[in-house]
Structure 1
Amino acid sequence: ALQPCQGLSMESPQPSPTTRKSPQSLSPVSQVTLGPAGQSLSPLLSPVLSHVGGARTDSEEQPKHKSMAADEAYFIAKEILATERTYLKDLEVLTVWFRSAVVKEDAMPADLMTLLFSNIDPIYEFHRGFLREVEQRLALWEGSSDTHVTGGHQRIGDILLRNMHQLKGFTSCFQRHDEVLTELEKATKRLKKLEAVYREFELQKVCYLPLNAFLLKPIQRLLHYRLLLGRLCTHYGPAHPDHADCHDALQAITEVTSTLQHSLARLENLQKLTELQRDLVGIENLITPGREFIREGCLHKLTKKGLQQRMFFLFSDMLLYTSKGVTGSSHFRIRGRLPLRGMLVSAHTLCSQAIMAVSLVGHGLCLQPKPLRMGFSPVSASCPDPPVSP
């Protein structure tokens, strides 16, 4: 049986109040008390994302901002706050909106529900608490002009240090996200009802990226913390009272990201292959062990009828070239599949024009990045002996 990560609350994360209009057809079915009566509701903002007592006006904040214009640390702290709010909204796409969609239609098996949300809910709850701490500290930082004398609130390192150490406890959750993505993809292929809910959900305004891309957000956020902490350490001198905490926090998050570096690479590759599997028409089982996505781009293929625009996808073991599918869709139809084994590319000057040719098994493809014009170095190809089938 799948076990939740430590600290998991089995109740669904609760969406929060806001005055923004909810996206159509995405009303969470796991209803909870969201806020005061009469207030518009949306899960896009957690309770810690809104200022208690109403939003402050620009005119109220402007004098304080001017007084702290020279303090780069303050603006880095504000960046942490702003990006943490956005990140929490991204997590809620999974923890609130997608959960609501699959529960409403009873579309996801219980074991997959456990696997998915036992790995994402604890992370979500942690960041809600972290955001609350950062908001409270920034409120004190922006308070009276002598807070640095009376309370030492014009600093952020102590909060970052404490929370970066706590993130080490979620390493097992981060490492299982590629398993979550794999099992989710298998289930959508096997279960037509889940596939329909999945595809309909991706069409909603709240899901502004491919759904599986949101599973990359937690590890990517760790890398952002490392970047911001590096900037803080560079800004502070060794004698600054906040330097030691920021330096120790940077070391802590660097340890976590180093441990998860390979997990992130696998997850990014798997997410891209999963996305392309849906977009490429004419190829099955794009996701195979050892296959890595390298690059994609548009080239012009030289044919008897002239240059034809094609979309190319380069993988570690093959090159695909495609044409645009149905107008208005993101699908591409496979026109050719070329194994990389035995493929040769060489430069060649031809009539002062630029082409790039790729030859394989006795036939060549003449390609170029754009229609022929002056100023490009020509490229052509030679034909090798037939390669051994991979």
Structure 2
Amino acid sequence: LNNLNENNQKQYEEKERNLRFQAIQEILTTEVTYLRQLEILMEYFIQPIIERKLLNHSLLSSLSDNIKTLYNVSGELIKELKQNSENIADAFHKLAPFFKLYSVYAYDYEQILSLLQTKQENDCEFKDFVNKQETRPEVGRKLPSLLITPIQRVPRYKLLLREVLQHTCNKHKEYNLLQVCLVEVEKAARHINTFIEQYEESQKLLKLQKCIVNPINLVKPGRKLIKEGALMRVSRRGNSAYRRYFVLLNDILLYCKGDPQNSLTICCVLPLNKCKIESVLSGGLFRVTCLNETLLLYSEKDDSNLWIAAIQNSIKKYVECRQTLRKDSSSRKPLRHNDLNLFPSENVPIIAGKRKRLDKETEINLDASKIMYLKKDNESDIDIQSDNCLILLKRFKRFKNNDDSKYVKSYEQKINYKIADKENVYFTEHSKVCSPIQSANFKQESSTLKSISEFFTSLGSSLKEFFRF
């Protein structure tokens, strides 16, 4: 039984080694084929077009440089694999970082393809040249199929490496390094896909931009088109509805008049971070609120729920992004008609205007007569006055039972001096009540204590009225 298990194990290991070898050989053979396709593309199409000046465009020169770069990367990979086919992990680990160069080619691919197709439609000589080259026995392929070959190569690397790793024992010396290589290739593939998505999004925005008659530039890095279409807007009175075109981007909602087939006029720009949406009726009516702007909408195609979900998700994602990255649109408000020139647009001349935080409708008018403004300087003066009076009160208590008129007169003079120098209106006005007592000058020594007590009684009442105010 043990011998049988050992034989089965040996057969399984031998089978895995063969499958692994076949996967490595497939990488090598497909890479040689890919390299030959790049040579055909350059030799029979790109170079003749440039030399004969059949098409004069900067994209063509860029395409030639990109193909040469990718040709060098592919040639180096073939060289490494031919030296030692078992050294596949080291070969990919060395060249995987250069696979991101494919993203440059991928970004220009759609523009190149569109340029060549347009040229063939408008230029018969160029069309005849392409058709002649495609029918050559050395070529045997259409030009578009050759152009897309580099786009497909990195995803192909990912599939082939997975197959190699699948048939590699986890105890193999290259197993861990193969896993690292697979991760690097997947990163490169995502990088390329990101560039392609960015190009596609920019093309959508450019197409939309051509329809808009307002001086607004919608094309911006990171901006995406989420949804667009016609919606019915209910009037403010609720007795009629108008068909309007809405464009949902990942940061704003555009409310437009017109048709994208002809032209669109933006009536209002609503920043999503200030928007709220709620369903009004189960029949599909919903409300979009943005500060002082309110739109009551519904769809004739019964897809109101899709619009509600799209706007809600866009608001949620935009707010989440803004929690970690503050953008220039943080203080935006709904813009209508003449205020649309305040919309931040690059490479579009706009009229400079002062930023207003609040509209007239949201301003709050305050009655100045009911507001008391307190200054720190005045408050400190009051505290100094009260402290001085309290000090004098304590000192006069020492002489309450003292008949010495000299001390009483000296402190009475100090009190008059302290009161006369203060700038507080209320304190000076009330201090006039004390003037008869102060003018007496204590002519009769027997009435000294009585005058002092009357003085402090009047002073105490004045202080009470002052602090009560």
TM-score bin (small chain): 0.3 to 0.5
Task: Work out which structure has the larger RCO, using CA pairs closer than 8 Å and 6 or more positions apart in sequence.
Answer: 1
Q: TM-score, normalised by structure 1?
A: 0.46
